[in-house]
Structure 1
Amino acid sequence: MSAVFNFTFVPWFRSVAPYIHMHRGKTFVVAVAGEAIAAGKLPAIAQDLALIQSMGVKIVLVHGFRPQVNEQLRAKGHEPRYSHGIRVTDEVALDCAQEAAGQLRYEIEAAFSQGLPNTPMAGSTVRMISGNFITARPVGVVDGVDFQHSGLVRKVDAAGIRRSLDAGSMVLMSPFGFSPTGEAFNLTMEEVATSVAVSIQADKLIFLTEVPGIALDPTRPVDDENAIDTELPLDAAKKLLATLEPAQRPSDTAFYLQHCVKACEGGVERSHILPFAVDGALLLEIYVHDGIGTMVVDEKLESVREADVDDIGGILQLIEPFERDGTLVKRSRTEIERDIQQYTVVEHDGVIFGCAALYPYPEAATAEMAALTVSPQSQGQGDGEKLLRRIELRARALGLDSIFVLTTRTMHWFIKRGFQQVNPDWLPEARKKKYNWDRRSQVLVKKLK
């Protein structure tokens, strides 16, 4: 085994350990679009889910089947019909949905039963449980459209799902529900996954979809990773939804976002939209700091936002003790007032508990993160992480390649979060001229691309 491999593998494995510990015992609802299975992604997704479960995560897997049902319909000479973003399920479509669900269940169970040597499934034992966990009701007639056998979730057997998860099984759910009279209804994968996540109070709801996430500018197409809003607070997501037309297609911004918002409002702290086109998207989102795709997060009463002039007093009060003991360079009220648009703050009930500033150097494709401060009252609760993620998001939106910090006392905190130490000569020329050689601050850089 090469020394180079050892050198790269060991630090990587150590870097993911905190996330393994963090997620052990948690419950995730993972919704996989039928398009992912049609694209041949099922074997890799099954391997990743088996790996995640082996690290102590309880998983409910909900599959979609839009393309599979459409294929069955066309084979029978029928065209798919939709209205209000929901399939109109007549007798033929219901038969096609039942056939597609049966075939997909067979394929999914087969994928999780593999155990070939020299594959990620070697030695794995994944027991899958599925059943009538969903009670449904008809959509009925909406705006003159009779949806026939299309349904909505009426009730989720949360206790039954939890018992299966606690027994060590992975729960597999198709987008079907049944009425108390035994009538079958075709549901949407998105609604089933959201309803289940809320009912069992899952820790995460994850959509593995044909879209890469929510664009920073929803009016423009997503054309690269910098165009993705990697973390969207619930309030911001709700405001965005209010500006959008009702979703009709999965490619519409509101299509998955509306379900993420509903889940967060129902008590699921984090909801994710990930691209199945990226190999290992689930692993990248769960076990890597920066993740991939978009995460909608319920910050409860706490908000992370850009600062305004009303925050100047709170920022001064927050950073003053750290300036006094030499942790931070002293900044005057005039400086902060001049640069207030560069600041991001963490606010709770009207009180500023954290702040950070971003000073771009576009000529060098980098920016300085300065004045990162968290109140002693809330240290250790993740506010520093939230500020760092927001600063990274702002820097990516500017098309920058990296961010850097100057610090004398908190070097290890930054190194744990992907920063690397460099020589002060690395600094952009404009910043190098202001570098205080007497203070001897360490310079640390984090690449964003």
Structure 2
Amino acid sequence: MKDTTHFVHWFRSAAPYIHGFRGKTFVIAFGGELVAEGGFVQLAHDVNLLNSLGVRLVLIHGVRPQVEARLTENGTAIRYVNGLRVTDDAALACVKEAAGTVRVEIEALLSLGIANTPMAGADIRVASGNFVTAQPLGVRDGVDLLHTGEVRKIDAAAIRRRLDQHDIVLLSPIGYSPTGEIFNLSLEDVATQAAVELAADKLIFLMETEGVPDDGQTIHNALTVNEARQILDREAQLPEDVTYYLPCAITACTQGVKRAHLISRHRDGALLSELFTREGVGTLVTPAPLETLRPATIDDVGGILGLIEPLEREGILVRRSRELLEIEIDRFLVLESDGVVAGCAALYPFPEEEAAELACLAVSRDFRGRGFGDLLLDEAEKRGRKAGFKHLFVLTTRTEHWFEERGFVDSSPDHLPKRKQALYNYKRKSKVLQKTL
């Protein structure tokens, strides 16, 4: 029963993401290691689920380990210049062979429909083709990179037509020139440019590490573009894959992609955990901070009710009907995190006594411990001072110490504004706390 209850709670909490992701475009990139080591089987299950939920998917695969293996088997020299492969004719032949093999293996795994597996009933169509136009990188540091190239153009219109038909688009790290040449491209270049040209809602990199390291023991849960740039400038010992993918996440987010995610390829279900839980399992990169503090609107009533109703049932907050909340919505502030109402507070003015009441301060359990209560209190105090109030007071039955730690002092109902005194519920016996603004 406990496991079932946990599942129901998780499924309900995932509902906003399920609704929000339908019709959105996700670009998911992964190295050839995922296919070589058998990890794509689990990823295929998760891709199938996303596809069934109406997410428009573009997959980009790498082939580096497969190319290395073929070059070694052939006794061909492996040459790199500043992390870029020198692709001569022999290396290009290995690239073409590896890309074709990996693409076919991915298509086969996405075509599974075996009963009693997550792929049962799957009806996935995969579209591949010459969607990527490339050009040569040319000479770098005095070395001609030959058939190594970079993305010149992504045929976004053709890809969208495939996505409109509910196909999954699969791109290989190969591009073609208008003159018929073939170029070896980097996985991250194809993924980034595809996400930008498609104005994707998410660019997701599956990589070796869990995300962008914080202090060696943990990872950054979320970073803005500016914070990510600071990390690249400041940290000299970042994991190699972070040095590849974090700049791509920054580029994508500064050119129209709404979110970029860096997650581990080694964690089974990492893609679903990152997308369908509030805390995620990797590093999220966003153009701007996720949290927005703003005046509430009528559209926020449902979100505010979801916050305060559990506290009302526990007797922590005074019960408010939806009708009353709609009437008083202009008194409320909401703290929105990634599109979800994470906290709220209301400010009721008593201009005759130059005072205001802070009421209905609540933060969702999913967001506690992040300082959201302090943010709401600080904003309420700023608005109170701006309106010319001298005092802020609060009535509470459970959180007296929290307010005292933030400068409120014990008071009594006799010191409340006259209109508030007339409404004071002596049966409830709320503590009265005041703070000078």
TM norm. shorter chain > 0.5: yes
Q: Is residue 295 from structure 1 mapped to residue 284 from structure 2 by the alignment?
A: yes
Distance 2:64 2:189 in 1: 14
1:409 alignment partner in structure 2? 360
Q: How many aligned residue pairs are there?
A: 338
Distance 1:408 1:38, change over 3 A: farther
How much does 1:4 deviate? 3.6
Q: Which amino acid counterpart does residue 80 of structure 1 have in structure 2?
A: I
Q: Is residue 190 from structure 1 mapped to residue 149 from structure 2 by the alignment?
A: no
Contact kept, 8 Å, 1:245 with 1:254, in 2: the verdict is no
1:133 alignment partner in structure 2? 131
State, as a whole percentage, how many aligned pairs show the same letter: 44
Distance 1:65 1:154 in 2: 20
Distance 1:44 1:418 in 2: 33
Q: Which amino acid counterpart does residue 145 of structure 2 have in structure 1?
A: F
1:382 alignment partner, one of 311, 330, 337: 337
Q: Is residue 280 from structure 1 mapped to residue 269 from structure 2 by the alignment?
A: yes
**Structure 1 residues not aligned, in runs of 5+:** 306-314, 319-374, 389-406, 442-449
1:231 alignment partner in structure 2? 222
Distance 1:414 1:152 in 2: 46
TM-score, normalised by the number of residues in structure 2: 0.69
Distance 1:164 1:303, change over 3 A: closer
Larger Rg: 2
2:78 alignment partner in structure 1? 80
Q: What is the correspondence of 1:325-336 to structure 2 with a 5 Å cutoff?
A: none
Distance 1:297 1:99, change over 3 A: same
How much does 1:385 deviate? 6.2
How much does 1:78 deviate? 2.4
Distance 1:15 1:252, change over 3 A: closer
Deviating beyond 4 angstroms after TM superposition, the runs of 4 or more aligned structure 1 residues are 244-247, 302-305, 375-378, 383-388, 416-419, 434-441
**Structure 2 residues not aligned, in runs of 5+:** 296-329, 344-357, 370-396, 411-427, 433-437
Distance 1:187 1:384, change over 3 A: closer
2:245 alignment partner, one of 256, 259, 280: 256
Distance 1:383 1:102 in 2: 39
1:265 alignment partner in structure 2? 254
TM-score, normalised by the number of residues in structure 1: 0.68
- Give the CA RMSD over aligned residues: 3.6
How much does 1:7 deviate? 2.1
Contact kept, 8 Å, 1:31 with 1:193, in 2: the verdict is yes
1:391 alignment partner in structure 2? none
Distance 1:113 1:142 in 2: 41
Distance 1:30 1:130 in 2: 15
Deviation readout 1:289-331 (Å, 9 max, x if unpaired): 10011111001xx6879xxxxxxxxx9xx9xxxxxxxxxxxxx
Contact kept, 8 Å, 2:290 with 2:337, in 1: the verdict is no
Distance 1:241 1:129 in 2: 36
Contact kept, 8 Å, 2:342 with 2:364, in 1: the verdict is no
1:24 alignment partner in structure 2? 22
Contact kept, 8 Å, 1:304 with 1:386, in 2: the verdict is no
Q: Which amino acid counterpart does residue 193 of structure 1 have in structure 2?
A: A
Q: What is the correspondence of 1:42-81 to structure 2 with a 5 Å cutoff?
A: 42-81=40-79
How much does 1:382 deviate? 3.4
2:350 alignment partner in structure 1? none
Distance 1:49 1:410, change over 3 A: farther
